[in-house]
Structure 1
Amino acid sequence: MKLRKVASGWEFESEKDLEDLVWNNLEKLFGYKPLKRQYQVNGQYCDILAFGKNKELVIIELKNSEDRYIVQQLTRYYDALLDEKPFPKNINFQVPIVLIAVTPNFHRDNYTDRKYHQLKFNFLQFKIICQEQKFSLNIINLDTTLNWKLDFDYCPENHIKKDIPTPPKRFYQLIDKCTPQEQTKLLKFRQTILEFDYRMEEIVQDGGIYYGKGKTKYCAELRLNSKKELVLFLWLPRSFYSGKQENITRIRIWTDWNNAAIVRPAAKGLGKIHSLDITFAKEAAKNQSLKYFLAHALNKWFQRI
């Protein structure tokens, strides 16, 4: 499990870290018995499935940051699982399904979506508390004020990171035209990706470098355009660019390696970039950073493998 220090306190470095902690302590936290994690149904992945004392199915969706579409996501899981009815030995589908959203913050749209919904959604807000170097996960039900606290061991000073191999020759060729400051940030960018999961691979292919697993489970891509400028792509939900679709697509990113802006989906090649697109993207991402987009890309990659 990895944490990072931020202005407001502490946060999980990835959604996977939050999921690991909740999954490993599910009974201790909520009294539910774990059933399956990252369960695939109808082309989607449910973070955690569990069941209660009455054999009711419990669907838990975890977010490491605010997400305005979490109600719709849980609705799709509910529909698909009710149609499939898996785990008949553990689940009684005559008992109402429990839907739980766990996130550090809820968007105002979450409350609007829930207000006019026929299903019941439990909104649980979490926060990491550190007092005298002792860490705990604090969760509160925003409707009932029922709260849970889980103490866990974590020592930032002793955090051991995965050994990262020396960058391939192609990586240095790609960043050759970048400033020294940009090159430093690019090396950090590469390190963050490769440290995320032991299955993450660095693949030199087609003149660029891909980060992912195999030939279909990509997370990020670096390559040069016709002007020998470095171009970045991330695999993100299409909703990051427009609409509410959750389909994962290859999206070109404008970045100065501090701030970033999504430009437009680019299924192949470099995509068609227009000045209006860049202006729109910069404006839309004023309050976002490359770290924010990369964290989402890594989390989605983890759910797909």
Structure 2
Amino acid sequence: MGLPVSYAGGQCSLYGIATVPYLKAKHLSTQGKRFNERVKTANRKLIYIGGEIRFQSEMDLEDYIDEKFDEIFPSLLKIKRQHTVQMQRCDLLCCTKSENQPVIIELKNEEDRGLVSQLTRYRKAILSNKCFDDKIDYSLPVKMIAIAPGFHKDNYTDKESSKFEDDFDFWEFAVENHNNSGRFKLLSEIHEISYPVFGLPEISPNLDRSSLPAFTCNFLGRLPRDYHTDFLKLRTLLLSQPKVKEMVSTTYRKILYATGDGVNHKKVAEITNTTNGIVLFLWLPTAVIKNIKTPVTRFGFVLKKGSNPFSESSSIEWVVCTKNTLNLNEEPQPNTYSGMTRHGMLKWCQPNMYLSQAALGYNNTFWLLINLLKGITPPLDNTTLEWWKSYAKETPTNLGWFIDLAIKTWNYRIK
């Protein structure tokens, strides 16, 4: 199943010692890059999350706008995408077709408070440089346009206090489902989005192995065939969340789903495949302690013998709070104490004890809920409260409960 991959520059070998922890596009050969680009183009998607359809990332939104630019903005001429000047980079530098008036467009896939200051910085940098002056008439005011699914009230406050108030436009877009693909709505106009929506409850995920990028093919090829289908289901679920990227280690023995692999990057899941076995790790809420900025940490799962490590129905024996590998030699014996983490969690706890541990033993888990939903202004809506009450009543002994919690945690954390 593994796809042969060669590396440009000789920085890494397929099984050799890696110079970086995760593979990057630069490690692919020219052929591999072409393969990945074909896969990416053929498998672009929208995601359904929280009752809304959105682009999977801001880059996907930019790609769509770039491809459909002439259709969406018939009165504008696109000069350059991702134009950088004086350390400032605007998404789209344009001008009007009628008067060559300069236009800066900033695209956001979610609400952002700092749009006015961001666009003002772009304006200053572009006016000081006056690039493409053969196409743009810099004697005219610079029109600054922000396009987003919604605008924070601070944007309007900043706009009102700006001396360039008349030069700002806030355009709100929406993405709607139409026959399981998308429709992009902007300025009362509708534009088709040809790729499918992931995450719709009534739609089965695409588990076609030919849609996998090169590095993921190699990781999958090292898994037992009995696990392939459930791995692909879990992978589809994880990649259906906003901002999630997939990263494969240089040994093809670890795959990470996160915004990046750095310490400060947000992570949702990791899978390791070593001589000690296949282990799924998830980032879940942890005990609420005042000096813990973000009460989320990494947990691994010890499943009952013979269980599929990717199946939602698999039964769990232990939930292990760890930053490192999961060492079965550390499994506590009956009536022994496994030790505590700095979060106040037992290092090894039985699955039906996880929630009370994470809530520091409180009968209700309200304070854990508040920290999980950090950034959401109380009072909490009834739907969220009812969801949490259902979690508090359940006895989480199967893997699917924890996967669902990790997904919900991810989506609340990225707000």
TM-score interval for Structure 1 and Structure 2 normalised by the shorter chain:
0.5 to 0.7
Residues in 2 aligned to 1:209 and 1:149: alpha-carbon distance in whole angstroms? 38
Aligned with residue 220 of structure 1, among 253, 260, 267: 260
Task: Report whether the alignment pairs 1:125 with 2:172.
Answer: yes
Please report how far the alpha carbon of residue 131 of structure 1 lies from its aligned counterpart in structure 2 after TM superposition. Answer: 3.8
Is residue 76 of structure 2 the alignment partner of residue 35 of structure 1?
A: no
Q: Who is 2:88 aligned against?
A: 44
Tell me which of 264, 274, 294 is aligned to 1:251.
264
State the 1:82 CA deviation: 0.9
Residue of structure 2 equivalent to 1:10: 53
Q: SS where residue 220 of structure 1 aligns?
A: coil
Q: Distance in 2 between matches of 1:133 and 1:193?
A: 18
Give me the whole-angstrom Cα distance separating, in 2, the residues matched to 1:96 and 1:253.
40
Equivalent residue number for residue 67 of structure 2? 24
What is the identity, as a one-letter code, of the residue corresponding to 2:174? K
Contact 2:57 2:242 in 1 (8 A): no
Distance 1:109 1:2 in 2: 31
Please state whether the residue corresponding to 2:131 is helix, strand or coil. Answer: coil
Q: Determine whether 1:138 maps to 2:185.
A: yes
After TM superposition, the structure 1 stretch with the greater mean CA deviation from structure 2, 119-128 or 284-293, is: 284-293
**Greater length-normalized contact order (CA 8 Å, ≥ 6 residues apart):** 2
Q: Letter of the 1:283 partner, please give it.
A: N
1:151 is the counterpart of 2:192: yes
Q: Does 1:84 align with 2:129?
A: yes
> Secondary structure of 1:251's partner?
coil
Range 58-67 or range 17-26, more displaced:
17-26
Given residue 65 of structure 1, which amino acid in structure 2 is its aligned partner?
A: E
Distance 1:40 1:284, change over 3 A: farther
Q: Does residue 163 in structure 1 map to residue 203 in structure 2? A: no
Contact 1:2 1:14 survives alignment (8 Å): no
- Structure 2: how far apart are the matches of 1:258 and 1:155? 28
Whole-Å separation in 2 of the counterparts to 1:126 and 1:190: 23
- Between 1:30-39 and 1:61-70, the stretch displaced more is 30-39
Query: Partners of 1:3 and 1:150 in 2: how far apart?
Result: 14
Partner of 1:179: none
TM-score, L = length of structure 2: 0.45
The answer to whether the aligner puts 1:67 opposite 2:151 as a matched pair is: no
Gaps of 5+ in 1: 141-146, 173-183, 212-217, 222-232, 234-249, 265-269, 297-305
1:195, distance to aligned residue in structure 2 (A) = 8.9
CA displacement 1:57-80 (0-9 Å, x = unmatched): 111000000011111111111111
AA aligned to 2:177 is C
Q: How does 1:86-101 map to 2 (within 5 A)?
A: 86-101=131-146
Instruction: Judge conservation of contact 2:81–2:90 (CA < 8 Å) in 1.
Output: yes
C-alpha distance in 2, partners of 1:78/1:187? 40
Which position in structure 2 is the counterpart of 1:301?
none
List per-residue Cα deviations over 1:16-60 (Å, max 9, x = no partner): 221122222222222211111111122232111111121111110
Paired AA for residue 23 in structure 1: D
* Structure number with bigger Rg: 2
Cα separation, 2, equivalents of 1:260 and 1:37: 39
**TM-score normalised by length of structure 1:** 0.59
The worse-fitting range, judged by mean Cα deviation, of 101-110 and 28-37 is 28-37
Distance 2:177 2:88 in 1: 35
- Show CA shifts across 1:77-135 (max 9, x none): 11111111111111111011110000001001111111101112100000012345564
Question: SS in structure 2 opposite 1:20?
Answer: helix
Q: Is the 8 A contact 2:90 2:122 kept in 1?
A: yes
Q: Look up the SS of the partner of 1:81 in the other structure.
A: helix
Q: 1:54 aligns with which of 91, 99, 113?
A: 99
> Does structure 2 conserve the Cα–Cα contact (< 8 Å) formed by 1:194 and 1:201?
no
Aligned pair in 2 of structure 1 residues 84, 209: CA closer, same or farther (>3 Å)?
A: farther
Equivalent-residue separation in structure 2 for 1:194 and 1:39 (angstroms): 23
- Aligned residue for 1:153, secondary structure, equals strand
Cα distance between partner residues in 2 of 1:9 and 1:253: 22
Q: Does 1:290 align with 2:410?
A: yes
Q: Which is richer in strand?
A: 1
Q: Give the match for residue 302 of structure 2.
A: none
**SS in structure 1 at match of 2:260:** strand
Which residue number corresponds to residue 16 of structure 2? Answer: none
